Structure 1
Amino acid sequence: MPRMNDLYSRWTAEVRRNSFVHAGERIGAAVSGGPDSVLLLDFLAQLSRDMGLQLSVVHFNHHLRGAESEADENFVRTLAARYGLPFYRGEARVAEEARRLRRNLEATARDLRYRYFLALVRQGKVDKVATAHTLDDQAETLLLHILRGTGTRGLGGIRSTLQNKIIRPFLAVTRAEIESEIVRRNLEFRVDSSNLDPRFRRNRVRMELLPMLEREYNPELKRLLSELAARSAEDEDFLEQQARERAGAWRLREAGCEKISRAALRNMPPALVRRVLRQMLQDVGAGLSGITHRHIEAVRHLAVSSQSGKRLELPHGTEARTEYEWLVLLPRSGNRKSLEFVYSVEIPGTITVREIGRRVDFKIIEPRDADKGYNAMEWPKLDPLKLPARLVFRNWRQGDRYCPLGFQKSVKVKELFQRQRIPLRERALWPVLDSEKGVVCARGFPAAAWAAAEKDSPKILAIRETNAA
């Protein structure tokens, strides 16, 4: 093996300073077959002897270049055998998947590749996967972000670690240093022909824009862009932490939804509000793929300026709503009809409403027992002698109306929802007791005047609602 040299010494110092790896860890080296990843594997093999790392080789076949892709995989497999290391391979028909999803080819390839890397960690085959992103990759990425239009988050570029499961220990190494070192070590590698294809924007940035900027404006541009990314990432991490701490007391998690006080958002600086909203979208399970600055600004405007009842559809089936003094982020409802329910009621009797996970008991009690806990879920007291023989327990429907006790005329149940500030997402499955004579009552609201129990009612129908077992 080659003796230790300046580049390897600097690299190992960088690895130890950033705690990329620890003694005894299982590290998967992501090797495409190109010079960057081949040198990373050689460096890691040398480092593994010093630190007792358990090294393996990881390859992902994108099936984008036909026989060339197969040759890359065979080359990496042979390379792993030469080092005496375990070989893990994943694959995906990236072009087909990109067409199916109507997404950018490069972004689809990256997502599928990283999904495989993280799966290896979850399966316990490796503790971390190391990729060979370089300082040049960082500069190219930052320029692409700027050209696309980015905020301060995008200025952070490629992070040195991802979820502490993906590490990028070559980010301080230039491509020129790698090319020189790989020649010095006499290492074989593959050339990816797609890296020369000018149809890809990244290739044009690498082959045309960056050289022109270095030649005409600043020969140190790559290093400066890399330093800008590092500083921006540090600033962004601080602001993210501030946003999480500032919003923590005001955020609620309810039934798969994320809620936050709109008043709290109004009192925060816009820079923190944007980060709070991104964190909420991440936590609700939507992720941030496809979420742009315009989406975040639209949600921020909805939260701080709109009246209650407004909604906004976001990518990946997510919805933002204003519900009185709350902003709610939630998965968008699918076909609600599939969740509708109708149950026949026998008195006395019990039904289990699977759609809302509730057990509902209908019990005839003495008037003196009416206040002993039977109406814990806010169902009104009814006179069983006034009720028709056929009763049904169902979810609320548009147009439901009745005349509640104490009202002069009938009102829509929707109006009662509005008066009590029942959140929109809860209304579709709100339970109603119905009959051939009309609506008898709804949870939380007075009984219909004709069905309500009176002081001289000999018996009371009590409705008790509890969690289903």
Structure 2
Amino acid sequence: MNVIEKALATISAHDMAHIDAPVLLMVSGGSDSTALAYIAKELRDADKIGPLTMLHVNHRLRGADADADEDFVRHLAEVLGIPFVAKRIDVASIAQEEHGNIEAVARRERYKVANDALADVCRMREAPISQGRMFVAHTADDRIENFYMRSIVGTGPGGFRSMLYLNGQVARPLLDVSRQDLRDYVIERIERELPVVRDEHEMLWREDATNEHTDRFRAYVRHEIVPRALERNPRLVDTLTRTMNLIGDEDDMLDKMATDLFDQHVMWLEPAEQGCVLSPWLAAEALPLQRRVAIKVLERFLGADERIDTATVEAVLAAFHDGKPVGGYVANVQGNLAVSANKQGVRIEPMASFRIRRKK
């Protein structure tokens, strides 16, 4: 299959888009997202996906180069006849104020902008917001890099699926396509006499020089680890993609089981901000499922994007022992949450609520 056929197969297999549902293309100007724009345009012209809008977020991290990226993407949208939205965010200032990681802040702010832009597009087109999709240009290479990165820093079993094809409204239609295949596709457009855009250096996409800096974790994995793995197995992309999809299938099954247990064993207090109680009967379930339920509860408190510490999950599970809650157990965990237990179950709540309750 060529890249258009692969992308369409992925979109169909994972129910990523419908003919009337708006699609927001997140385009940085790099080779992957530039290819995404061209592919999406071909699919839209073939009535395979819904109306397109292109979004570029300028993080203002690379000075004139960042502005040139924005100009390139604006021109790309004009050539393809796709409505264009550009947003500028001073990521460095936000990260400095929050004492946060620049890459993490950039990702969070980028998706905030994307969510707002998608909502605006859906309203303009009188489409349900829930049906709108953000197409991002993650490739099989990105997924493999994530796999090795997580192997190094640690993750749960489900983390080795690396990326979801569809995560809420975020869709990854290129997840089964390699970066090289996308670059070849962009170059082949010239031979097919299809429109292409070049930057001021006559390049078909923009290059971010920081992607070559191996002091950055992803760049280190991309340039040092993956090439060596490819030497051992030239079909690494296909092999690891298949492996990650098998892991994903089992992860989906376990997640479904954990969701059922969550509904059975988690009782939220009124108001819900006051916390919840885990039923004593949760202790009788298999430990991996207990762990997943605990993570789901903690995500409700801390946010789905927050990395949940292993120590926090283990602190929740430690409130159960020998198939029942441990009376008198108390722990202060991530997010300043209190975990306490008695024969009625395990209670998780903000520490302030715990202290007020204990004073009564």
Shorter-chain TM range is: 0.7 to 0.9
Q: 2:340 matched to which residue of 1?
A: 321
Q: 2:14 matched to which residue of 1?
A: 18
Residues of 2 paired with 1:309 and 1:82: CA distance?
67
Residues of 2 paired with 1:179 and 1:229: CA distance?
24
Q: 1:218 matched to which residue of 2?
A: 233
Residues of 2 paired with 1:173 and 1:61: CA distance?
26
Residues of 2 paired with 1:304 and 1:93: CA distance?
49
Residues of 1 paired with 2:8 and 2:297: CA distance?
38
Residues of 2 paired with 1:285 and 1:208: CA distance?
35
Q: 1:278 matched to which residue of 2?
A: 295
Residues of 1 paired with 2:134 and 2:303: CA distance?
25
**Identical pairs, percent:** 25
Q: Is the 8 A contact 1:130 1:169 kept in 2?
A: yes
Residues of 1 paired with 2:343 and 2:305: CA distance?
26
Q: 2:162 matched to which residue of 1?
A: 157
Residues of 1 paired with 2:76 and 2:298: CA distance?
42
For 2:7, what is the secondary structure of its paired residue?
A: helix
Residues of 2 paired with 1:315 and 1:90: CA distance?
33
Q: 2:68 matched to which residue of 1?
A: 71
Q: 1:61 matched to which residue of 2?
A: 58
The one-letter code matched in structure 1 to 2:242 is E
For 1:153, what is the secondary structure of its paired residue?
A: helix
Residues of 1 paired with 2:120 and 2:357: CA distance?
38
- Classify 1:89/1:310 alpha carbon distance in 2 versus 1 (closer, same or farther; 3 Å): farther
Q: 1:303 matched to which residue of 2?
A: 320
Residues of 2 paired with 1:322 and 1:122: CA distance?
42
Q: Which of these residues, 182, 187, 191, is aligned with residue 183 of structure 1?
A: 187
Residues of 2 paired with 1:288 and 1:179: CA distance?
31
C-alpha displacement at 1:288, in angstroms?
5.5
Instruction: For structure 1, list consecutive stretches of 5 or more residues without a partner in the other structure.
Output: 335-422, 431-469
Residues of 2 paired with 1:159 and 1:85: CA distance?
27
C-alpha displacement at 1:250, in angstroms?
2.4
Q: Which of these residues, 140, 143, 164, is aligned with residue 145 of structure 2?
A: 140
TM-score (norm 1): 0.67
TM-score (norm 2): 0.85
Residues of 1 paired with 2:76 and 2:59: CA distance?
19
Larger proportion of strand: 1
The answer to whether the aligner puts 1:100 opposite 2:100 as a matched pair is no
Partner deviation per Cα, 1:318-343 (whole Å, 9 max, x = no partner): 33222443211223328xxxxxxxxx
Residues of 2 paired with 1:98 and 1:281: CA distance?
25
How many residues matched? 334
Q: 1:129 matched to which residue of 2?
A: 134
Identify which range, 27-36 or 121-130, moves more after superposition: 121-130
Residues of 1 paired with 2:175 and 2:233: CA distance?
20
Residues of 1 paired with 2:30 and 2:303: CA distance?
34
Q: Indicate the structure whose relative CO is greater, using CA pairs within 8 Å and at least 6 residues apart.
A: 2
C-alpha displacement at 1:185, in angstroms?
1.1
Q: 1:192 matched to which residue of 2?
A: 208
Q: Is the 8 A contact 1:250 1:260 kept in 2?
A: yes
Q: Which of these residues, 1, 4, 8, is aligned with residue 4 of structure 2?
A: 8
Q: 1:46 matched to which residue of 2?
A: 42
C-alpha displacement at 1:171, in angstroms?
0.2
Q: 1:258 matched to which residue of 2?
A: 276
The answer to whether the aligner puts 1:201 opposite 2:217 as a matched pair is yes
Partner deviation per Cα, 1:238-274 (whole Å, 9 max, x = no partner): 111112213433221103212112x313211110000
For 2:24, what is the secondary structure of its paired residue?
A: strand
Q: Which of these residues, 239, 245, 251, is aligned with residue 230 of structure 1?
A: 245
The one-letter code matched in structure 2 to 1:258 is C
The one-letter code matched in structure 2 to 1:200 is R
Partner deviation per Cα, 1:38-68 (whole Å, 9 max, x = no partner): 1111111111122262111011112211111
Residues of 2 paired with 1:332 and 1:300: CA distance?
18
Q: 1:341 matched to which residue of 2?
A: none
Residues of 2 paired with 1:312 and 1:237: CA distance?
31
Please, what is the CA RMSD of the aligned residues? 2.2
C-alpha displacement at 1:167, in angstroms?
0.4
The answer to whether the aligner puts 1:312 opposite 2:328 as a matched pair is no
The answer to whether the aligner puts 1:330 opposite 2:327 as a matched pair is no
For 2:352, what is the secondary structure of its paired residue?
A: coil
Residues of 2 paired with 1:319 and 1:119: CA distance?
34
The one-letter code matched in structure 1 to 2:91 is V
Q: Is the 8 A contact 2:24 2:118 kept in 1?
A: no
C-alpha displacement at 1:82, in angstroms?
1.9
Identify which range, 271-280 or 237-246, moves more after superposition: 237-246
Q: 1:170 matched to which residue of 2?
A: 174
Identify which range, 217-226 or 271-280, moves more after superposition: 217-226
The answer to whether the aligner puts 1:117 opposite 2:134 as a matched pair is no
Q: Which of these residues, 426, 447, 451, is aligned with residue 357 of structure 2?
A: 426
Residues of 2 paired with 1:42 and 1:203: CA distance?
26
C-alpha displacement at 1:17, in angstroms?
3.0
Q: Which of these residues, 79, 83, 101, is aligned with residue 82 of structure 1?
A: 79
The one-letter code matched in structure 2 to 1:259 is V
Q: Is the 8 A contact 2:140 2:174 kept in 1?
A: yes
For 2:320, what is the secondary structure of its paired residue?
A: helix
The one-letter code matched in structure 2 to 1:268 is E
